[in-house]
Structure 1
Amino acid sequence: MSAISPTALIADDEPLLRRALARQLADAWPELEIVAQARNGREAVERFEALTPDVCFLDVHMPGLDGIDAARAIGQRAQIVFVTAFDRYAVQAFEQGAIDYLVKPVEPARLADTVARLQARLRAQTSMADLGPLLQHLSRTHLRWLRASIGNDVRLIAVEDIDYLRSDEKYTRVAWRDDSGKGGEALVRTPLKDLIAQLDPAQFVQVHRAVVVNLRAVSHVVRGENETARLHLKARTDLLPVSRRYVHHFRPG
């Protein structure tokens, strides 16, 4: 722990979220000094090596080197707090008892609990436990459920029931069907780019910069001009565009 005051690093690819967490920490833990902010895991590791902060707040999903990789590189040299939009990661990390977590959007009460635990660990100079097994588990586990808004309701949607996902500005529109064949569309607050990394690549493929499809939902592919294509779905009339960049997914083997 720093001799004068504890120090921290915040890593998140969204500048607004980095600044928001810094403001919340200033209120919840005035003595904490934010010595660095990073846009991705690579920057986080570089700035950690240069400044060796006591605490690292790492967004799980960042482009390139993500929060899991950064935590693996930092190891037991700092207190790690994962910041995530996915409860699955939070629950698994919390159950291990070795690290803490914050779920976006960060709630003041939850942040206060996290700060209290971090302060106690730093006062006791408690070293981090070996995170290797947990990080390995997190890196190979795929998303299984999504919490989506349907009107005023929040619905839990099994990922295997999703036909496709489409980017909708800062949100993601999810088209899904249940076991009875009844389905609908819902909005998820997480951007599509953050969801892609958590989907099983054997089941979900990106077919356009704004569209990801469940291969099990595809009926057939119709080729278009300039090496593009259209996807027809088994239980929907929707036609999904396939851009040149992704048409290789549907070439004959």
Structure 2
Amino acid sequence: MPSALIADDEPNLSAELASRLMRFWPELEIVGMPRDGVDALAQLNEKRPDFAFLDIRMPGIDGLKVAQLANDVRVVFVTAYDAHAVEAFETSAVDYLLKPVTDERLLRCIARLQRQGAPTADAATAAVTACGLSDAMPIRWLTIGVKDATKLVSIDDVLFFQATDKYTEAVTSEQRHLIRTPLKELLPRLDGDRFAQVHRGVIVAYKAIDRIERDLLGRLRIHLIGHDAVLPVSRAYAALFKQM
């Protein structure tokens, strides 16, 4: 069953569009209706819908930036402004709908989406391979739940990741953030030139390392720049820091 997310800071407009989509395309499942760009990006990452109907001017992050950061979703911009059309299609948008959207125009958009279908893993992999990149683009942002809000943390700010009993901690110079992604699932999505696993429960950013010392028992310990955490290095990963 195809699925879609509708992001608009006007809940009445989201509800109206959802109602019309369900009327014209009964098979389509609406999986979320966030009201700002940060929540939209978080829900896109969590729910992985096939399609996203995005307003451009939203609080937090605008729809254009959300489209740039989102992966494996076909984007339709729904906006009252025609000035962003060129920039929108540069983000590989499927369509650009001007408010108020007529039934005829919405039906043409639905027909286009149905012809193109949902993005597939094979298609995404082929596109990435054609660019000479790895099987998946490295993540650039983490979406962190904070009470009733969602916060974006740049991957550039993370010093290390550490596994806990149920979650993973993403540690920056100032805070510890809990994320739900297990360490083993996170590792393939990180840039291998910037991060290294040094223990079954620890991934560290190379740029955060100050020095590696050996303790009295011969175990390697990583000391960080500007942070008091000391990270263990297991024997399986000790070769990473073998002296040249």
TM-score of the two chains, using structure 2 as the length reference: 0.49
Rg bigger for which structure? 2
TM-score of the superposed pair, with normalisation by structure 1: 0.47
